[in-house]
Every structure is written in structure tokens, then in C-alpha cells.
Amino acid sequence: MSKENKTKNVTSIAIKLNSIFVRKLFVKFLWIDIFLIVFLIVYWCIDNEINYYGNFIMNARRIFNFFPLENSNYTVIWDNGKVMVKDASSFLYMVQRVLGAIGIIEGLFVLKEIVFGTIKIRKTLKPLDEMAKTASRLSNMNFDEEKFQNLEEAISKISSVTSNERIYTGDSELHGLEDAINNLLERMRDSYRQQARFVSDASHELRTPISVIQGYANMLDRWGKNDESVLNESIAAIKSEAENMKNLVEQLLFLARGINGTTQIDYKEFLLNDMINEVLEESKMIDEKHVYRYDNSEKIIVYGDFGLLKQAVRILIENAVKYTEENEVITLKTGKNEKGESYISVQDNGIGMGEEDIPHIFERFFRADTARVRKNGGTGLGLSIAKWIIDGHKGYFSVLSRKGIGTRITIFLPKN
């Protein structure tokens, strides 16, 4: 199809769409005018009845004579024999003038759409028109055997995993296809790098407890089983490291199930304050070395998974405990922001973080070793799990931290 024919087709479509819009606009104005006429007449009648009789009586007999216009009148006969006859000609002339003015304004709107509507629609359709032209041009491209071979050779030289090279044939007709393939390769490489890093980090996390268990087992095998103090120390260490491995594996499985979509979120309506009070009491019972406070300004009802949200808050509290000195205060707070979003914040007076570390704290196995030395262990997966839970609830985090001052992490949940 020629360029001239395509332009004609686009113009024809724009004219048809504009004619449909103009018809709808005309009908809309017509209904507005009818409603306005009925409203003004009813209002005028009721107002005159109330002024004459004192109130409005539903079962009175009413007669409205519209024609001839100069002798039009409104008659009301009540059950007690009282009669009102009101001249309506001046009112109808006023209505006529008002509708005439409104009709002129509406006519100008309709005329404007008739004259400029087609141009506006053509501008709106321009991106679609350009896409159609591009698709047509691509369909008419002449891909000879040599171009296919060049493209095949360029693809065969590229590694989708270990290389950062990009496909380039030098053929301008293949430029768009090259960009699409290069973008796909980049996403594949990013995914591979993330998986490789995850496997490496998981292996590193498991290597430490396995090495500790193996070391104590070898010591017991050589001479430690005859020394009661060494035996008790070894048993305690092996139990502790086995528990750490168990926690790590459980967290890895939780994340894997979440990614695969097998972990379901059970949405229910509940009082957020009750959940925080539960977490607060449990934290006080488990940890007597810190002071816990709950700043509660109002009762807040949220819609979400009680268990998963409770788990996310526990993770934040556990992190606060790890990096806060004994006898320091950990503060929990709930409320609503100016957008109507419910929030839960956990604030500590710990060692804090640098600004460069904050964007990475939700990454799996991330360790800001220079800023937050792990005093009590940990897998490095807690905040990743918390983020998955809050993402599943369509919420988000806010993190404020300063070195030597402390950290405040806030969970925001959507309004509805």
C-alpha cells in the first residue's frame, strides 16, 4: 500500500472517530438541556405554590398551559377549594433566553470538535500509524541469505552467560533486531549473575557451620571424647551450628517457595495494634537485655496475612537487637501517614549504617561488614524475607540510619 493511501486511511479513521464523538457530545448536551428545562419548571412551580399556599401539597390538582406562550399560566386547585392561577409567560421567556445562551455555547463546542476534532485524533493516532509503517517496512525488507548468515555468525560468537559482548553486524536494516537480542542477552546475563551470586553466598554461609562441626567432630574422634569439658563444649557447638544450618535452610526454602508462588498470602482484616502487642510481649519474654517500648497513637485496622506480617516485624526487631547494646531502647510505633497508609516502624539506638549500604540491605546475604558487625550471627536472609512479605502485600519500606546514632525501618501498607 502506498504512503498516500495509508495517509488517506488514517484520515478516514480519524473522521469516523470524530463523527462518533460529535454525535455523543450532541446527545449529551441535549439531555443536559432537557434536564435543565424540567428542573427549572419544577422548581418555579414548587416555589410559587409554597409562596402562595404556605407549603407544598402532593395531591393538589395542577394544570400547566404552555400555549400560547404569551398567555401561558400555571393553575393549582387544592382540596379546600383554594385556587392559584400564576402567569408563566415571563418565566418561560426567561427560560427561553437562558437555553438560547446555553445552546450557543454548546453549539460552539460542537463546532470546535467538528473543525479541530479530526486533527486532534490524527495526532493521537500518529504513534500507531508510525508503528504500522514500521511493521510494514520490516515485512517488506529483503533478507537475503548473506544477511541471515551474518546474523547467525554474530549470534554464535556471543556467550549468553560469561561475556559482555553485544551483537553487531553493521547492517542498518538489522539494527532494531540487534538491539532486541542484545537487551534479551543483558537480562539473561543479569539473571545468571544473580543466581551465581546466590549459590556462592549460600555455599559460603553453609561452609562455616559445616567446618565448625567437622572440626569439633575430628577433635572428639582424636582425643576429646575422653575429656568431659571438651566433650560438652563440642556438643554445644555442634548443636548451635546445626541450628544455624537449619535456620538457613528453612529461610532458603521460604524464599524459594515465595519465588515459585507456592507460598500463599492469607488476607484477613485484623487490628494491627493487637499484632504489635503480641510481638512486643514475645520480644520482652525472649530478650531481657533490651528495653522495648510501643508508641501507639490510634487503633488501626489492616487487611493482610497476620502471620506473615508478624514475621516481617519480628525480623526487623531481631535485626535491631543484634546491633543495639544491652539496656538500650528499641521502639515500635504504628500509625497512618498523610496518604492514609498504615505504617509500622522499628527504631533502635544501635551502631547504624552508612548511606552507601542502605540500598543493599534487602539483598540476600548482604553484609555491611564495615558498618554493622554481626555480634550474634545471622544468615543475612531476614530482610530479604521481610521484603518479599511486604512486596506481596503491595507495601514498601523506608529506611533512615546514621552511624553511631541508630536505625529506623518503617513498613508502609497500602490504604485499601
DSSP 60-71: SEEEEE-SSGGG
Which residues 6+ apart lie within 8 Å of 248 measured at CB? 202, 205, 206, 209, 379, 381
If you ran DSSP here, which 8-state letter would residue 298 be given?
Answer: S
Cα dist from 243 to 216, 316, 342, 374, whole Å: 15, 20, 35, 17
In the chain, list all ranges with CATH 3.30.565.10.
268-413
In the chain, list all ranges with CATH 1.10.287.130.
176-260
- Round to whole Å and give the CA distance between 82 and 41: 22
Which of 352, 346, 338, 351 lies closest to 294 in space, CA to CA?
346
Whose cell is 460542537? That residue is 110
Which of 106, 128, 105 lies closest to 17 in space, CA to CA?
128
Q: For all residues of the chain together, what is the average pLDDT?
A: 80
All residue ranges of the chain with pLDDT < 70 are 1-11, 133-148, 151, 159-163, 169-175, 194, 197-198, 200-202, 204-205, 208, 224, 258-262, 367-379, 416
How far is C-alpha 202 from the geometric centre of its chain's CA atoms?
Answer: 30
What is the structure's pLDDT at 64?
A: 84
Q: Contact, 391 vs 261, CB < 8 A?
A: no
Cα dist from 407 to 15, 330, 337, 349, 358, whole Å: 61, 10, 19, 7, 10
Written as one string, the DSSP assignment of 93-136 is HHHHHHHHHHHHHHHHHHHHHHHHHHHHHHHHHHHHHHHHHHHH
What is the structure's pLDDT at 159?
A: 67
* 268-413 homologous superfamily: Histidine kinase-like ATPase, C-terminal domain (3.30.565.10)
If you ran DSSP here, which 8-state letter would residue 172 be given?
Answer: G
- 329-336 and 291-296 as β-strands: parallel, antiparallel, unpaired? parallel
What is the structure's pLDDT at 410?
A: 96
Q: Which three cell numbers stand for residue 354?
A: 552508612
Burial class (CB in 10 A: 0-12, 13-18, 19+), 320: buried
CATH class of 176-260: mainly alpha
Cα dist from 3 to 29, 126, 219, whole Å: 39, 14, 85
Check residue 170 and give left, alpha or beta (phi > 0: left; psi -120 to 50: alpha).
left
What is the structure's pLDDT at 396?
A: 95
Distance between terminal CA atoms of the chain?
51
What is the structure's pLDDT at 372?
A: 43
What is the structure's pLDDT at 174?
A: 66
